[in-house]
Amino acid sequence: MGTVEVKNVWKIYDGDVVAVKDVSFRCENEEFVAVLGPSGCGKSSTLRMLAGLEDITKGEMLFDGKRVNDLTSRDRNVALAFESYALYPPLTVYENIAFPLRARGMDRRQIETKVQGIAKDLELTEVLKRKPGKLSGGQQQRVSLARALVRDPSVLLLDEPLSHMDQRVRAVIRVRIRKIHDELSTTTIYVTHDQEEAVALADKIIVMDLGAIQQIGTADDMFNYPVNQFVAGFIGEPSMNFLKGKIESTNRVAVLNGDAMVSWEVKEDIPESYLNTDVFVGIRPENVQVSKEPTDSGVKAIVVVVEFLGEEKTLTLSLGDIEIKAIVSADFLTNEEDTLWLTGAPGDLHVFEKKSGEALIKTKK
């Protein structure tokens, strides 16, 4: 068992720093949940409250339906791995990983099997006899992660556990974490600012910004049906482009083209009350359609940079005061300073109210 419920939780530091604002979510038993958002958005504060390392200013946290607000870390049966390693310097790597098992009174042989197993998964076999001080930051972080994973807790809490590892190791360890989760079936909450990590690992993603939850859903929900401009811009690499526009009708937007406007069709879903409202029209780089000839609805753009990426290339295009990116096939020949005309298919366009950032087209494709 390992459901986690967070109900209307707030964290206010020093009386006035509102780090977490009325956050509510639920993790099912055995679910892998990522909490994703930029630095300072309240991810670690949320996780530290779940871990019992930080008081809950307001609201409730429940594990398996039982309120844990007043329980100590130990009584919550959670395992943690944070960005900082908190290893015991006098102990070897082996002893650091074995520590929580010894504390529980597990027998020697069982400890040996468990430590060797997790060390293999996290590529630590070679350094088991060393002291943490002799390891790189990335290795120390893996020891900290191993110590958390070896415990078989009811809830596993990980806060940016790969941040000190280099790119290659990070990709390897990421896959191992998911594999270990699937073997142990431990409910896991994984905090990261890296959307690629969240998308690769999680069953469910919780996107936060400015202390508040923006959207909860699968990677597919976030990518195809972002509820606001923040989520739309945060998920996807390169990021979604945003063009200035105005609502013309329930299924047309006027898009700024130099000093004039062109009319683009979008999916019919915009409430009539938004007529003439200023909006941003969102289109992902892979969906931008480019033409070398002027078209009726084309937005004129100048090529600024051409980057080759194997079978594709990324164009950076200037529309006067904004720049956008388009991914085109490698055989589309174009050079810097060329003029191109851009459009997007109705099903690929997102529309966000300029003032609130809210998505105005809500139906799924």
Identify what 181 binds: Mg ion, ligand ADP, none; CB under 5 to 8 Å per kind.
Answer: none
Amino acid found at 86: A
User: Between residues 114 and 164, which has the closer beta carbon with respect to ligand ADP?
Assistant: 164
User: Between residues 57 and 239, which has the closer beta carbon with respect to ligand ADP?
Assistant: 57
Structure tokens at 316: 């950076």
Identify the sign of the CA torsion 8, 13, 18, 19: negative
User: Between residues 20 and 360, which has the closer beta carbon with respect to ligand ADP?
Assistant: 20
User: Between residues 19 and 173, which has the closer beta carbon with respect to ligand ADP?
Assistant: 19
User: Between residues 14 and 107, which has the closer beta carbon with respect to ligand ADP?
Assistant: 14
Strand partners for 79: 156
Least distance in Å: CB of 43 to ligand ADP?
3
Strand partners for 358: 228
Strand partners for 207: 36, 215
- Are 59 and 19 a contacting pair, CB within 8 Å? no
Least distance in Å: CB of 209 to ligand ADP?
9
Least distance in Å: CB of 235 to ligand ADP?
16
Identify what 41 binds: Mg ion, ligand ADP, none; CB under 5 to 8 Å per kind.
Answer: ligand ADP
The HSE-up count of residue 237 (CA atoms within 13 Å, CB side) is 6
DSSP line for 67-106 = E-TTS-TGGGTEEEE-SS----TTS-HHHHHHHHHHHTT-
The residue with its CB nearest to Mg ion is 44
In degrees and rounded to multiples of 5, residue 80 shows phi and psi of -125, 145
Least distance in Å: CB of 194 to ligand ADP?
12
Cα–Cα dist 140/150, whole Å: 15
Q: How many residues bind Mg ion (CB under 5 A)?
A: 1
Identify what 88 binds: Mg ion, ligand ADP, none; CB under 5 to 8 Å per kind.
Answer: none
31-60 residues near Mg ion, rule: CB under 5 A:
44
309-328 residues near Mg ion, rule: CB under 5 A:
none
Cα–Cα dist 296/227, whole Å: 30
- Are 7 and 61 a contacting pair, CB within 8 Å? yes
Identify what 14 binds: ligand ADP, Mg ion, none; CB under 5 to 8 Å per kind.
Answer: ligand ADP
Least distance in Å: CB of 52 to ligand ADP?
15
Rg of the chain over CA atoms, in angstroms?
Answer: 24
Cα–Cα dist 270/249, whole Å: 8
The residues that touch ligand ADP, with contacts defined as CB under 6 A, are 13-14, 17, 19, 37, 39-45
User: Between residues 23 and 148, which has the closer beta carbon with respect to ligand ADP?
Assistant: 23
Least distance in Å: CB of 48 to ligand ADP?
7
Least distance in Å: CB of 40 to Mg ion?
8
Angle between helices 167-184 and 137-149 (to 10 degrees): 0
Helix (H) or strand (E) holding 46: helix 43-51
User: Between residues 159 and 248, which has the closer beta carbon with respect to ligand ADP?
Assistant: 159
Identify what 52 binds: ligand ADP, Mg ion, none; CB under 5 to 8 Å per kind.
Answer: none
List contacts with Mg ion (CB under 5 A): 44
